[in-house]
């Protein structure tokens, strides 16, 4: 079956895929076609995020000539290690790692002090 994939950048491409193909294999194929690594892919069909990698497209309700949305998720870079000050970019917001650690500590202290 032919499926049209549209990216968040407005690029679109048509891929001929067997309906019995598992989502994880489709994602590998999409990596080759789009350049978006599997770990950064988010695929939506009819407003629903497809997240069951072992399910076939047929099982997920995907049919011939459907349009699918292929988004690139931001994956935080955790290479800095504990105690270093590096930035995480999530949904366009930049947060200092130290601020996240401080927030977690503040929540812990609130829980300990709340009977």
Same domain? For 38 and 18 the reply is yes
- 106 confidence band (pLDDT: 50, 70, 90): low
Residue-level pLDDT at 9: 85
Backbone torsions φ then ψ of 19, nearest 5 degrees: -65, -20
User: Is pLDDT of 21 > 70?
Assistant: yes
Residue-level pLDDT at 8: 84
DSSP 39: G
The three-state secondary structure class of 107 is helix
Beta bridge partners of 95: 88
Same domain? For 65 and 80 the reply is no
Give the range of the structural domain holding residue 44, as residue numbers without chain letter: 2-72
pTM: 0.64
Same domain? For 83 and 62 the reply is no
pLDDT tens, 47-91? Answer: 899 999 999 999 999 999 999 999 998 877 665 544 444 444 444
Distance, CA of 67 to CA of 56 (rounded, Å): 16
- 97 confidence band (pLDDT: 50, 70, 90): very low
């Amino acid at each position: 079956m032919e499926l049209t994939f549209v990216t968040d950048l407005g690029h679109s491409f048509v891929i001929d895929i067997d309906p019995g193909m598992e989502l994880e294999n489709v994602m590998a194929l999409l990596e080759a076609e789009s350049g978006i690594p599997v770990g950064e892919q988010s695929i939506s069909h009819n407003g629903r995020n497809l997240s069951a990698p072992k399910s076939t497209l047929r099982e997920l309700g995907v049919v011939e000539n459907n349009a699918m949305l292929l988004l690139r998720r931001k994956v935080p870079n955790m290479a800095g290690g504990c105690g270093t000050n590096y930035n995480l970019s999530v949904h366009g917001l930049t947060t200092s790692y130290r601020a996240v650690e401080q927030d977690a500590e503040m929540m812990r202290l609130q829980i300990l002090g709340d009977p």
